[in-house]
Amino acid sequence: MRIDRVTDLDEIMQCLPFEREIRKKGRDRMREADMILFVQSQLGNPFFAFLIAYDEDNNFLGYSIGILNLIPGCKRLYIARMYAKDKDVRVGLEKTLVDWAKLHKVNLAQITVCKNIKAYKRLYGYVPVSVNMERRY
């Protein structure tokens, strides 16, 4: 397996079918167009990483999006997306993000979960530390 940090929007667009699947399952509410604009706006940001995993035949295996916050007292890796059907691919993507974060002396990862909170606790070792609340206007 090969994991590349990608900055080419055309290459990133191959993830759209999986983004549609994520939204169909109710795991993200952000409009697809808004996500594309966000990713496009961040491609030059050194603290933003869009990773894509490929097999030895260059077939797509999964992808991940990570953002580093380096503000003192708030230093963390925010994992905005992790998609792969295979556990080994997810582990590889996460390890790549964590290694990148450690280069910047970041040792805390954060995710936002809409569903399956107990599974994230059991499978991945995350613990809830706060509640995100929202209100629409």
Percent of the chain with pLDDT over 90: 44
Q: 33 exposed, middle or buried (CB, 10 Å; 0-12, 13-18, 19+)?
A: exposed
- pTM, two decimal places: 0.81
pLDDT top residue among 29 and 1: 1
The pLDDT score that the predictor gives to residue 104 is 95
Tell me the helix, strand and coil percentages in the chain, rounded to 5.
40, 25, 40
Superfamily for domain range 2-124: Gcn5-related N-acetyltransferase (GNAT) (3.40.630.30)
3-class secondary structure, 91: helix
Please compute the mean of the pLDDT values over residues 30-54 and round it to a whole number.
89
3-class secondary structure, 66: strand
> What is the per-residue pLDDT across 2-21, written as a single tens digit (0 to 9) for each?
999 999 988 888 887 877 77
